[in-house]
Amino acid sequence: MEESIVKKRIFVAGHKGMVGSAIVRQLKNRADVEIVTRDRTELDLLDQKAVDTFFANENIDEVYLAAAKVGGIHANNTYPAEFIYQNLIMECNIIHSAHKHDVQHLLFLGSSCIYPKLAEQPMSESALLTGVLESTNEPYAIAKIAGIKLCESYNRQYGRDYRSVMPTNLYGENDNFHPENSHVIPALMRRFHEAKEAGDAEVVVWGTGTPMREFLYVDDMAAASVHVMELDSETYQANTQPMLSHINVGTGVDCTIREMAETMAKVVGFEGEVVFDSTKPDGTPRKLMDVSRLSDLGWRYQVDLEVGLRKTYQWFLANQDNFRK
Ligand code: GDP
């Protein structure tokens, strides 16, 4: 007789977003997993009662909390109220109701912008709450710090096993390619592509080109998320502390915005000039993760920047008619 596998019911919150969809791709062929998703017409994550009813009815075993209001430097600067309010409410609703309905395992996805603007580089997990944040995305960062502290508080008080991962700047399929509100990689991919199509002589890149950023391809992020979620409790606890429980996810390698823009021009095939508009903000001067904690836990990235940009550009070309505005 065939043995029937008991499947874990895993709720991926934010499954239509860039990271959530990559986590679904990562888990969907697993025989021991049943993925549960709800789009925003079915479940409004800002609605506390609806989220609570969902957890009461669905018998969830694990949650990947990848739902978030996200955007680049301009969007964060322009809509700070939406960024702090929506992120705080979604985290509170999901984490509290998960606990209330006895979900023991949850992974919260944060961001490297939780670290102080002038944190020592590379930034280790212990840099959290040691200095002033970058002002352009402080409200978003405060919400993400609150998410880590929610997880730690339910762990300390109720013995939950809620973990957090802090990715560096991510890119890949299902990113937001909005010209102003997106992050630098999708913004430049679109701008270079449209300039190539139009035969333009130059493309404008914001800021001075000197800030340094570390970029991680989203399938690597999804793989790291599953890796961290599935570490046994003893290993996870041995490598973290109760009040310093988050884990950085990145490549440990960075480059200047200018270098990234040059790689982008090559990938897209734009042969004109790249010019910098220094009236636009640079944001934080450097953002490089110390990934030694994750590396000690047995994970390393696979996809280099140029390879990741090529994969993303293929996806862009195939899907450009459907972009969310
Ligand atoms: P950040 O890491 O939070 O600052 O996120 P962003 O991806 O928005 O910006 C990264 C860097 O790229 C900043 O120094 C921006 O000034 C620079 N940058 C250059 N061109 C663009 C662009 O078209 N859009 C965005 N979002 N950033 C750009």
- What is residue 3's predicted lDDT score, i.e. its pLDDT? 66
Find the mean pLDDT for residues 234-253: 96
Return mean pLDDT, the chain: 96
- One-letter amino acid at 76 equals N
The active-site residue out of 64, 79, 115, 140 is 140
Domain 8-324: assigned CATH number:
3.40.50.720
Q: Which helix (H) or strand (E) holds 96?
A: helix 80-100
Q: Decide if pLDDT at 325 tops 50.
A: no
Task: Quote the pTM value.
Answer: 0.95
Find the mean pLDDT for residues 197-207: 97
CA distance 283 to 224: 27
The pair of three-digit structure tokens given for residue 199, joined into one six-digit string:
């035969």
Q: Decide if pLDDT at 324 tops 60.
A: no
- 283 Cβ below 6 A of ligand 1: yes
286-287: strand order across its sheet: 255-256, 212-213, 286-287
Residue 313: active-site member: no
CA–centroid distance, 106 to ligand 1, in Å, is 30
CA–centroid distance, 133 to ligand 1, in Å, is 17
Count of C-beta atoms within a 10 Å radius of residue 131: 12
Max Cα-Cα span within the chain: 70
Distances in Å between the Cα of 268 and the Cα atoms of 6, 140, 170, 196, 322 are 46, 31, 19, 8, 19
- 111 Cβ below 6 A of ligand 1: no
The answer to whether the annotation marks 18 as part of a ligand binding site is yes
Q: Give the percent of the chain with pLDDT over 90.
A: 92
Find the mean pLDDT for residues 9-26: 97
Spell out the residues 6+ positions from residue 110 whose beta carbon is closer than 8 angstroms to its own.
Answer: 144, 145, 147, 148, 164, 165, 166, 167, 246
pLDDT band per the 50, 70, 90 thresholds, residue 5: confident
Task: Average the pLDDT over each of 69-73, 121-125, 185-189, 250-254 and give the range with the smallest value.
Answer: 69-73
Count of C-beta atoms within a 10 Å radius of residue 245: 21
Query: Could you report the per-residue pLDDT of 73-89, keeping only the tens digit for each?
Result: 889 999 999 999 999 99
- One-letter amino acid at 136 equals T
Query: Could you report the per-residue pLDDT of 96-149, keeping only the tens digit for each?
Result: 999 999 999 999 999 999 999 999 999 999 999 999 999 989 999 999 999 999
CA distance 107 to 148: 10
Domain boundaries, the chain: 8-324
Pairing state between β 161-167 and 246-249: parallel
Burial class (CB in 10 A: 0-12, 13-18, 19+), 167: buried
pLDDT band per the 50, 70, 90 thresholds, residue 195: very high
CA distance 281 to 291: 27
